[in-house]
Amino acid sequence: MARRVWSCFSSISTAVLYGSLSLFVSILHNVFLLYYVDTFVSVYKIDKVSFWVGETVFLIWNSLNDPLFGWISDRSFLGSQHAGVRISNPQVVLKRLQALSRTGPLFALSFLAFWVSWARPGLQFLVCLCLYDGFLTVVDLNHNALLADLAVSASERTLLNFQCSLFSALGSLSVFMSYSFWDKEDFFSFRMFCVALAALSILGFSVACWLLRQRFQGRARRDEEEDSVLKELCVGQAPLAQEKELTLGQYLKQLSKHTNFLWFASMNLVQVFHCHFNSNFFPLFLEHLLSDRISASTGSFLLGFSYIAPHLNNLYFLSLCGRYGVYTVVRWLFFLKLILSVIMLLAGPDQIYLLCIFIASNRVFTEGTCKLLNLVISDLVDEDLVMNRRQQAASALLFGMVALVTKPGQTFAPLIGTWLLCVYTGYDIFQRDPLQEVVRTQELWNPAWFSTLRQGCFHLLIFIPITCAVLQLLAWSQFSLHGKRLQSIKLQRQSASQELPIDVKDI
C-alpha cells in the first residue's frame, strides 16, 4: 500500500508540483486581501491613526523587503564563472526548495495571526502585516526564482507558468467559499475556515517541497562527487583564485548598464500602476457608471468574473506565448488595451452593455499581462547571467530588484486616481466633514452634478488605459530581448553552465 502511494506521488510531474505551490499561496492570499481591512476596521475597531501608521510602515517594509531578501538569498551567486567554488544548478534548486519548505508553513501561520485578537488593534495590525508580507515575499521570490532555475527554454517555462495559472485559478475558489463563513457578528466560523485553509497550505507546502527535493538530491550528490574527483585530479596544480564577493554597489552598477532591465522596469512600473488602479477603482466605476443601469446580481457577477477570469484567460495567453513568443503577445495586449479604450471613448458612457464588457475586459487583460511578465523576468535573469558571466543565475535577486522599482506603482495608483477624480468632478472620496457630507448628499440629487460625476468617472476609466498603453508601447519598443537576441542568450547560458539544462519533462 505504501509503495503504491509512493509510486503515485512519484508519477506527478515537476511542472505540476511547481504549479501546486501557487495554490497553497493563493488560497490564503486571496482571503487576506478581501477581509483583512474589514476585520480590523469593523471587528477589532482599529482607530484611524493606528490604521494609517500601520499602512505607512507596511508600505516602506513592502518596498524594501524584496531586494533585501533577494540579496540575502543570491549574493553568493554573483561571482563570475571563474570563481574557485562551483555551485551546480541542482544545488541552487535545493537551496530554494529548502527556503520554501521552511517559510511556507510560517507564511500560513502568519496568515492565522490576523483572525484572532491577541493584542491592541494598532499593534496587532502592524505586526501582522509586516510578518505576513515578510514570509510572503520570501515564498514569492523563491517560487518565482525557480521558474528561471528549473528550465531555460521558453517552452518549458511556459509549461511551468501554465501550471501556476491553473492552480491559482483553483485557489481563487477560496474567495467564493469564504462568503459562506464571513459574519462580523459571529467570527468563530470564519476563524475555523481560515484554520482549515492554513492547515491545507502547510500540508501542501511540506509535501510538494519534499517531493521536489527528492528529485534533485540525487543530481546534487552526483555533482558533488564529480567536483571531488576533479579536485583530486587537480592536486599539485595552482588553485583557482578566489574572487572577492560582489558588493551591493557593484551589483547596482552592473544593473544600471543592463538596458533591457531598465526598459522592462519602466514598462512594468506603468503595468503595476494600472493593475492597482483597476483594483482600487473597480467598485467606484460600478457604483457611478452602472449601479442605476444594472441589477445588483449583475454587478456582483462582474466583480467575481474580474477576479477569477485573469487566471483562466492566462492559460490561453500562455498557449499564444508558446507559438508567437512572450514579447509579441504582450505587445498585442498593449495594442488591444489602446484600441478597446478608443472604441469605448467614441461610443460614450451610455452604451451600457459595451461599458460592462469594457470594465470587465480592461481588468482581465491588464491582470493577464501582469501574469505573463514573470516569463520576461526569467529571460532577463538569463541575460544578466551571460552579460556578467556569473557562476549561477541570481534569479531571486533580480525578481526582488524588479519589485523594488515597480512597487511605487501600488502607491501612485490610488493617489493619482483620487486626485484626477477630484480635478474632474470636485468629488473627494476622503472628505469626512459632516457639513460637507450634507452638502454632497444634496448635490448627488442634483442631476447636473451627478452627470458631471458620471462623466468624470468615465473619462478616468478611459484615459488612464490610453495613457498607460501609449507609455508601455514606447518602452516595449525599446526592449530588445526577443527573437534572435533571446535565442543567442539562451544558447550562451546553456553552453556556459558546463552541464545539460534540467528538462522539466524528463525529471
Question: Sign (positive/negative) of CA torsion 291, 294, 295, 298?
Answer: negative
Residue type, 503: D
Residue of higher predicted confidence among 75 and 343: 343
Alpha helix locations (H) across 407-444? 408-425, 434-444
pLDDT at 304: 66
Model confidence over 94-123: pLDDT tens digits? 889 999 999 999 999 999 999 998 889 889
The dihedral of CA 79, 84, 90, 92: what is its sign?
negative
Print the SS3 string covering 465-478: HHHHHHHHHHHHCC
pTM score of the predicted model: 0.80
The three cell numbers of residue 371 are: 501574469
Mean pLDDT value of segment 182-199: 89
Determine the average pLDDT of the residues in 244-252: 78
Alpha helices for 325-407 (secondary structure H): 326-347, 352-388, 395-406
Confidence of residue 194 (pLDDT cuts 50, 70, 90): very high
Q: What is the pLDDT of residue 490?
A: 86
Dihedral over alpha carbons 342, 282, 168, 145 (to 10 degrees): 70
List residues bridging with 390 in a β-sheet.
80
Q: Which of 416, 320, 299 is nearest to 368 (CA)?
A: 320
Give the pLDDT band (50/70/90) at residue 416. confident
* DSSP codes joined into one string, 274-319: HHHHHHHHHHHHIIIIITTTS-HHHHHHHHHHHHHHHHHHHHHHHH
Instruction: Identify the band that residue 209 occupies on the pLDDT scale cut at 50, 70 and 90.
Output: very high
Which of 140, 168, 129, 170 has the alpha carbon at shortest distance from 36? 129
Q: Please state, in angstroms and rounded to a whole number, the distance separating the CA atoms of residues 476 and 480.
A: 9
Q: What is the pLDDT of residue 296?
A: 63
Q: Which three cell numbers stand for residue 108?
A: 500560513
Set of cell numbers at residue 12: 506527478
C-alpha cell at 316: 490561453
Q: Let me know: does 94 contact 214? Beta carbons within 8 Å.
A: no
Name the average pLDDT for the chain: 81
Specify the residue for cell string 490561453: 316
Which of 11, 28, 35, 33 minimizes the C-alpha distance to 204?
A: 28
- Using CA atoms, how far apart are residues 428 and 411, in angstroms rounded to an integer? 18
Residues 291-344: tens digit of each pLDDT: 667 766 676 677 667 767 787 888 888 888 888 999 999 999 999 999 999 999
Query: Quick one: cell of 474?
Result: 514606447
State the residue for C-alpha cell 505540476: 16
- In angstroms, the first-to-last Cα distance of the chain is 24
pLDDT number for residue 11? 75
Tell me the pLDDT band of 134, cut-offs 50, 70 and 90: very high
The predicted pLDDT at position 244 comes to 60
Between 282 and 300, residue with greater pLDDT: 282
330-333 contacts: CB < 8 A, separation 24 or more?
330/369, 330/372, 330/373, 330/376, 330/476, 331/473, 331/476, 333/365, 333/368, 333/369
- Size (the chain), residues: 507
User: Burial code of 295-325, b = ≥16 C-beta within 10 A, e = fewer?
Assistant: eeeebeebeeebbbbbbbbbeebbebbeeeb
Q: Spell out the residues 6+ positions from residue 276 whose beta carbon is closer than 8 angstroms to its own.
A: 409, 410, 413, 414
Q: How far apart (Å, rounded) are the C-alpha atoms in residues 196 and 28? A: 10
Q: Which of 383, 367, 371, 361 shows the shortest CA–CA distance to 326? A: 371
Of 437 and 290, the structure prediction assigns the larger pLDDT to 290
Given this model, what pLDDT does residue 3 score? 63
> Cβ(482)–Cβ(138) under 8 Å?
no
Question: Region 55-83: what's the mean pLDDT?
Answer: 77
Portion of the chain with pLDDT greater than 70, in percent: 80
SS3 390: strand
Question: What nine digits make up the cell of 266?
Answer: 519602466
Grid-cell match 505573463, residue found: 372
- The amino acid present at 33, given as its one-letter code, is L
Question: Measured on CA atoms in the order 77, 82, 85, 89, is the torsion positive or negative?
Answer: positive
Concatenating the DSSP letter of every residue in 255-284 gives: HHT-HHHHHHHHHHHHHHHHHHHHHHHHHH
pLDDT number for residue 19? 92
390 phi and psi angles, rounded to 5 deg? -80, 155
pLDDT category of residue 436 using cuts at 50, 70 and 90: very low
Checking 113-119 for CB contacts under 8 A at 24+ apart, the result is 114/32, 114/36, 114/39, 114/194, 115/39, 115/187, 115/190, 115/191, 115/194, 116/191, 117/44
